[in-house]
Amino acid sequence: MFADLHLHTNFSDGTFTPEELVANAVKQKLCAIALTDHDTLEGCERAAAACATAGIEFITGSELTAEQDDHEIHILGYFLDTQNEKLRTETGKFQLVRQNRIREMVARLNDLNIPLDVEDVFKLANCRAPGRPHVARALVKAGLIATLDEAFERFLKKDRPAWVPKMKTSAPDAIALIHQAGGLAVMAHPGLNRADQVIPGLVDAGLDGLECFHTKHPKATSEHYLQMAKQHGLLVTGGSDCHGLNKGRPLVGTVRLPYHRVEKLKAAVENRKSEIGNRK
Torsional class of 70: left (φ above 0), alpha (ψ -120 to 50), beta (otherwise):
left
Residues 166-182, mean pLDDT to the nearest whole number: 94
**So what's the pLDDT on residue 248?**
62
Q: What percentage of residues in the chain have a pLDDT greater than 70? A: 96
- Tell me the torsion sign for CA atoms 95, 22, 246, 72: positive
91 confidence band (pLDDT: 50, 70, 90): very high
Position 247 scores a pLDDT of 58
**In the structure, what pLDDT confidence band is assigned to residue 265 with cuts at 50, 70 and 90?**
very high
Instruction: Say what the pLDDT of residue 94 is.
Output: 94
Give the whole-angstrom CA distance, residue 110 versus residue 186: 38
- Within a 10 A sphere around the Cβ of 166, how many other Cβ atoms? 14
Note the pLDDT of residue 279. Answer: 67
Q: How far apart are CA 240 and CA 140, in angstroms?
A: 25
pLDDT at res. 210: 98
Q: Is pLDDT above 70 for 128? A: yes
On the question of pLDDT at 246 being above 80, the answer is: no
pLDDT over 90 (residue 183) = yes
Q: In this predicted structure, which of 146-155, 168-177, 248-257, 265-274 has the lowest mean pLDDT?
A: 248-257
Please report the pLDDT score of residue 257 as a whole number. 98
The confidence score (pLDDT) of residue 167 equals 81
275 has pLDDT over 90: no
Q: How high is the pLDDT of residue 201?
A: 96
The helix (run of H) or strand (run of E) holding residue 268 is helix 259-279
Residue 273: the pLDDT is 81
Bridge partners (DSSP) listed for residue 186: 76, 209
Whether the predicted model's global pTM rises above the 0.85 cut: yes
Domains identified in the chain and CATH numbers: 34-90+168-236+259-279 (3.20.20.140), 92-156 (1.10.150.650)
User: Is 187:202 a contact under the CB 8 Å cutoff?
Assistant: yes
Q: Would you state the pLDDT for residue 207?
A: 98
Using one digit for the tens of pLDDT, what is the confidence trace for 51-86? 999 999 999 999 999 999 989 999 999 999 999 999
For the chain, give the percent of residues with pLDDT over 90. Answer: 90
Task: Give pLDDT, residue 277.
Answer: 65
**Residue 49: what pLDDT?**
98
